[in-house]
Amino acid sequence: MSERHRSKYAGNGTIRWYLLNKLVLENLKHRPVRTLLSVLAIGVEVTMMLTLVGLSHGMLDESARRARGVGADIVIRPPGSSVISLSSAPMSDKFIQFFEKQPHVSLAVGTMVHPIGGINTITGIDLDRFNRISGGFRYESGGPFKGPDDIIVDEFYATQNNLKAGSMHELLNRQWRVAGVVEPGKLARIFVQLPVLQELTGNTGKLSQIYLKVDDPARDDEVVRHLRSIPALKDYYIYTLEEFTSLISVNNVPGLRAFIYVIIGLSVIVGFIVVFMAMYTAVLERTREIGVLKALGASSGYILNLLVRETVLLALLGSVLGILMTFGSRWLIETLVPASLTQQIVPSWWPVAAGIAVVGALLGALYPGWKAAKQDPIEALAYE
């Protein structure tokens, strides 16, 4: 026996699993197409999960980045609003003066947000005040509003919709002139003048969100505490910007979590079915071999061990492929639909998705494994 072999087979009394792993590997290599398809299917399962999570993260991070881009220190939201969506404008614009009278508040800016379908919204701003709090837009082309029919869009939206300064664009059943295209990252993607949007949507004098600037950044918490103590603001959501952006997460978007669960559930079912079929055919095909192993004295546990190893290996290979494919799906989204959804690569979800794939696969291997372990050796050996 060669030295190489000697070391490979040496066991020091501990059970050597080398041989079992080799059998698992050889079995997978024995049916390359079945193995490849199983790995591919598990890969798709993992990509489905990771792409969805990546899109959610991308969307939420983008929201948080834009919220920070406003330059405010404190955010005030009306009762009953959620972090991500603002569908109504229930706050009176009289609040602006009220807040500006509060200690250490140097500036209050009200905005109005109106949904226009999909994940897009149109935002009404008072441009002077907005420039003061945010430091002003940086125009890629064009400039500020000139008339009531003017809109300002960010470069992202402009690219997506093929717009440039001077283009006409229809929104809310109305033709708008693109006055300027600005660098993205401040509050929203589509802006109109606040009174125009208020009037157009029947919300005259109403605001959906108010941003405050504090004269001394160290006093954010103090001001928030003070505002929360005012009885009239009891039901309002008052956050420092830091608190607010930390709330922009999957958990705080209504329905998103449930949606992710549904997709994960579907993924697990896909993985389950694929592995079930693959392992079931493998067990049928190896009936004789299982009979041989049993004749040699292999226990049910030994046979099960063999199949579990094979299943876990399939799931792990599929997970690696799935992770690689998320880079592909991101590239596809960016290439085919430029400036649409942002998909992030979220490595913290890799082990989660792989874990889910492994669990789904093990569920799929349960019945075939049981069937194999229960095989009668005499019948199995007589199997043609």
Partner 1 sequence: MNSPCIIEVRDLRKTYRAGEVDVHALRGVNLDISQGEFISIVGPSGSGKSTLFNVVGGLTPPTSGTVRIGGKDLAGLSDADRTNLRKTMVGFVFQKYNLLPTLSARDNIEIARHIAGRNSNTNARFQQVLELLGIGHRLHHKPRAMSGGEQQRVAIARAIVNDPAILLADEPTGNLDTENSAIVLDLLRDLNERMGQTILMITHNPEAASYGHRTVHMRDGSIVDTQLTLE
Among residues 180, 294, 353, 364, which is the contact residue for partner 1, using CB under 8 A?
294
The stretches of 286-299 forming alpha helices (DSSP H) are 287-295
Determine if 218 is a binding residue for partner 1 (CB under 8 A): no
User: Is 297 among the residues that bind partner 1 (CB under 8 A)?
Assistant: yes
Is 295 among the residues that bind partner 1 (CB under 8 A)? yes
Smallest distance from partner 1 to CB 347, Å: 35
- What is the three-class DSSP state of 149? coil
Min CB(262)–partner 1 separation in Å: 40
Q: Rule CB under 8 A: which of 261-290 touch partner 1?
A: 288-289
Find the shortest distance in angstroms from Cβ 275 to partner 1: 20
What is the x/- site pattern for partner 1, positions 342-381, by CB under 8 A?
-----------------------------------xx--x
Question: Which of 119, 127, 227, 298: binder of partner 1 (CB under 8 A)?
Answer: 298
Check residue 150 and give left, alpha or beta (phi > 0: left; psi -120 to 50: alpha): beta
Q: Which is nearer to partner 1, 132 or 309 (CB)?
A: 309
Positions in 23-62 near partner 1 (CB under 8 A): 23, 26-27, 29-30
Decide: 105 and 99 in contact? Cβ < 8 Å.
yes
Contacts of residue 277, Cβ cutoff 8 Å, sequence gap at least 6: none
Least distance (Å) between residue 249 CB and partner 1: 48
Name which of 320, 326, 305 is nearest 357 in CA terms.
320
Tell me which residue of 244, 180, 176, 252 sits closest to 209, measured CA to CA: 244
Nearest approach in angstroms of CB 55 to partner 1 is 42
In angstroms, give the least distance from the CB of 17 to partner 1.
Answer: 9
Token readout for 291 is: 């009979």
The reply to whether 16 sits near partner 1 by the rule CB under 8 A is yes
The token duo for 57 is 């993260």
Residue 128 binding partner 1, by CB under 8 A = no
Interface of this chain with partner 1, residues 318 to 347, rule: CB under 8 A: none
Asked whether the CA dihedral 48, 49, 50, 56 is positive or negative, the reply is positive
Whole-number Cα distances in Å, 277 to 27, 45, 366: 16, 16, 11
Angle ∠(270,274,280) on CA atoms, nearest 5: 145
Amino acid of residue 157: Y
15 scored as a contact of partner 1 (CB under 8 A)? yes
Q: What gap in Å lies between CA 147 and CA 192, rounded to an integer?
A: 10
For 150, the 3-state DSSP assignment is strand
Per-residue contact flags (x/-) with partner 1 for residues 170 to 199, judged by CB under 8 A? ------------------------------
Tell the smallest beta-carbon distance from residue 6 to partner 1 (Å). Answer: 7
Query: How many residues touch partner 1 (CB under 8 A)?
Result: 32
Here the tokens at position 72 are: 């405010």
Q: Which of 199, 194, 16 is nearest to 109 (CA)?
A: 194
Q: Closer CB to partner 1, residue 91 or residue 303?
A: 303
Residues that bind partner 1 (CB under 8 A): 1, 6, 9-13, 15-16, 19-20, 22-23, 26-27, 29-30, 288-289, 291-299, 302, 377-378, 381
